[in-house]
Structure 1
Amino acid sequence: MHTPFPQSRRAPKRVLALSSLCAALAVALPAQAQVTLDVIGPHEYDLPVGFKPFNVFVQYATFQNGSRAWDSRGDDRRAAEKTRTIVGMSKYVRFWTPESNPNIGLAYEVILPEVGVSNDATNTSNSGLGDPLTGPAIWYKPTPNSTLGFQTFFQIPVGNKDVGGGDVWKNLSSLFWDVQFQRFSYTADAGFVFFGESTAADARPATVFHTNHRVGYKLSDAVQPFIALDYERQGSWTNRATGVKVAASRETTAGIGVMFSYYGNQSITVRYSRGVSGEDHGMTNSFNLKYAYAW
């Protein structure tokens, strides 16, 4: 049975059975495809309190086939431009508990996206660093087998413009929660993406709402399959630089995956996700990898 971190001042041995806090892969992409924070895995928010400080490094990789899109009527159609996107994200997280209050946990993380995009219509490709993200998280445990917390990240517009970076500040803020049962686990979040003024659009894009859910079943200490459900919606807004009104958009995606834990401090998670409904949104068709190492 997977158990939460022990309530002690020692760093837990099996830290990677409890994945680190998530990152905003979707907002690092150059086009509107995939749901914000869909990178999370099972146990993502199964976090400790009362522990010695420790570190986590996470490497994400996502392969997105952008050949389909949702139109304004919710129909799945061929995208105007077929693209293939590969996104890597390198993340460092520092975890600690305040000496003054060992009943809460804290984390601070820095995330650097690496993006590559190929466009079949124009026979071109671009690659470079996306906009980095950084920010804190705080949580507590209402019961020994549950977690409730809040996280907020700022995405800084200093990335490569050819891969969607360098244009607009973003703030990603969300509540997260986790409940552990004997074999089942449930981890989830819900939050918003707030935008600053876009230089390219001469306007502030509409706020995005997103929510992400993972239900896992523990076959053994080393293997846990899971199902995924993700949703996001963005309101309409006007691009003042072009005078074009950007339609409201939404997408719901479903996925399946499995997490492998080994050596007590490492894990690999694989997942496939696909859009099941949407409007005016790129259709998700992605294969996702995640490697995590704690020390």
Structure 2
Amino acid sequence: MGRIKRPLRLRRETLTLAMISATCAMQLASTAHAAGIPFATDRPQTWQFSSDFEGSYDSFGQNLGWNHEGRAFDSHGNQIDGPGTNTFVGLSTFIHYWKLPSLPHVGFNASITVPEIRSQGSQFSASGIGDPLLGGLVWYNPAPATTLGFQAYVQVPIGQNSVSTNTWSFWPSVFYDDWYGHVNVDLLVGGILRGRTLRSGQDDLSPGNTFHLNLRVGYSISAPDNPFAIPFFAFDHQTSGGTFNQTALTAVPNSASRETTVGAGVLFQFKPNSLPFLHQKMYDQLSIQYQHSVSGRNTALTNGILVQAWHYW
């Protein structure tokens, strides 16, 4: 395996705790969707990649998230009592990275993400292995600290029945990351295109598609070429279309939703060749953030904590 020349520039994509729970948890509430915005676990430098490496390399990430759905937004955007559920989601992701000699400023990766889900309420509980996501991305570095790219994933409905979406879906998005002095700007814009939901003994449904936007603005306390702690601000938004009942040939009332959240967190990075990890042969990241809804419609409020850890070699 080729050795990475400049680990400080290498970042991996992150799938989100919330994006899995949002899609699987639509069946967890009656009049309001469960909270969750796709890619809500993003942090500064999520979409910063470097093409300055040789051979290939790998990474493994573990995400953990908790969300308390005690409040919800009704169809008019007013706050009401929510389902009261506590949702815990883990995401285990393996990623392989490579490049082609003929494309010196371009890189690729392929990944698989497996979710572990637990949702518990006073009148409802569900747990199990959710629907995995398979796919990858391509990025381009027009300048050493600038990244532009495109990614695509397929969510395969083979998870355990209690937490599966029972729906094939396609996740395309574009991303951008750049440094402005000590400030890192990280942006993702994309969507979820859903197929028909098929459950034995139930009506066939056509859930609406989703648009999402995820922005992170972080400030590196140390020099940007040797970042250790990066406090950051988070802004996320999603809009989802309504569901159509294909069996009854009617639209499902109050099934279209939207949500906007803000949050804050900090990203810690542990790199080789920097004290106190001078002899460390690996590269690691740890981030923690809190998010809360500021507006929405037909969805439970986000009120949760997201933690993720990455190791790559």
5 Å matches for 1:276-291?
Answer: 276-291=294-309
Structure-2 separation of matches of 1:126 and 1:145 = 43
- Deviations along 1:76-118, one digit per CA (max 9) or x if unpaired, are 2111x21000000000011111122122010101100000110
Partner of 2:276: none
Which has the higher mean CA deviation after the structures are superposed, 194-203 or 184-193? 194-203
SS in 2 for 1:141: strand
Match of 1:150 in 2: 150
Paired AA for residue 4 in structure 2: A
* Amino acid aligned to 1:294: Y
Q: Does 1:22 align with 2:24?
A: no
Corresponding residue for 1:4? none
**CA separation in 1, counterparts of 2:306 and 2:131?**
20
Equivalent residues of 1:193, 1:208 under 8 A apart: yes
User: In the alignment, what sits opposite 1:97?
Assistant: 99
* Structure 1 residues 206 and 125, CA gap change in structure 2 (3 angstroms): closer
Residues in 1 aligned to 2:232 and 2:105: alpha-carbon distance in whole angstroms: 29
1:275 match: secondary structure: strand
Matched, 1:240 2:246: yes
- Runs (4+) of structure 1 exceeding 6 A deviation are none
2:69 aligns with 66
Q: Distance in 1 between matches of 2:87 and 2:100?
A: 40
Paired residues of 2:211 and 2:238 also in contact (CA < 8 A): yes
The whole-number CA distance in structure 2 between the counterparts of 1:34 and 1:12 is: 37
Distance 2:136 2:182 in 1: 30
Q: TM-score, normalised by structure 1?
A: 0.91
SS at match of 2:131: coil
CA displacement 1:185-232 (0-9 Å, x = unmatched): 000110110001111451321110001000000012321100000000
Q: Is the 8 A contact 1:18 1:45 kept in 2?
A: no
CA distance in 2: counterparts of 1:185 and 1:166, whole angstroms: 35
* C-alpha contact 1:95 1:105 (8 A) present in aligned 2: yes
- How far apart are residue 133 of structure 1 and its match? 0.3
Residue 246 of structure 1 deviates from its aligned partner by 4.4
CA distance in 2, matches of 1:170, 1:24: 15
Aligned to 1:5: none
Shift of 1:73: 1.2
Structure 2 gap segments, 5+ residues each = 26-33, 273-282
Q: 1:270 aligns with which of 283, 288, 300?
A: 288
Distance verdict in 2 for CA 1:159–1:67, change over 3 Å: same
Alignment partner, residue 4 of structure 2: 11
Query: Distance between the aligned counterparts of 1:238 and 1:55, measured in 2?
Result: 41
* 2:297 counterpart letter in structure 1: E
Tell me what 1:174 maps to.
173
Give the match's secondary structure for 2:46: coil
Cα distance 1:225–1:74, how it changes in 2: closer, same or farther (>3 A)? same
Q: 1:82 to 1:167 in 2, by over 3 A?
A: same
- What is the 5 A alignment of 1:121-160? 122=123, 124-160=124-160
Gaps of 5+ in 1: 1-8
The Cα shift of 1:43 comes to 0.3
Given that 2:17 and 2:64 are in contact with CA atoms closer than 8 Å, whether structure 1 keeps it comes out as: no
What do the CA deviations read for 1:149-172 (whole angstroms, capped 9, x no partner)? 000000000011212x15000110
* Count of matched residue positions in the alignment of Structure 1 and Structure 2: 282
Deviations along 1:234-270, one digit per CA (max 9) or x if unpaired, are: 1223233565334321000000000111143011100
- Identity, % of aligned positions: 31
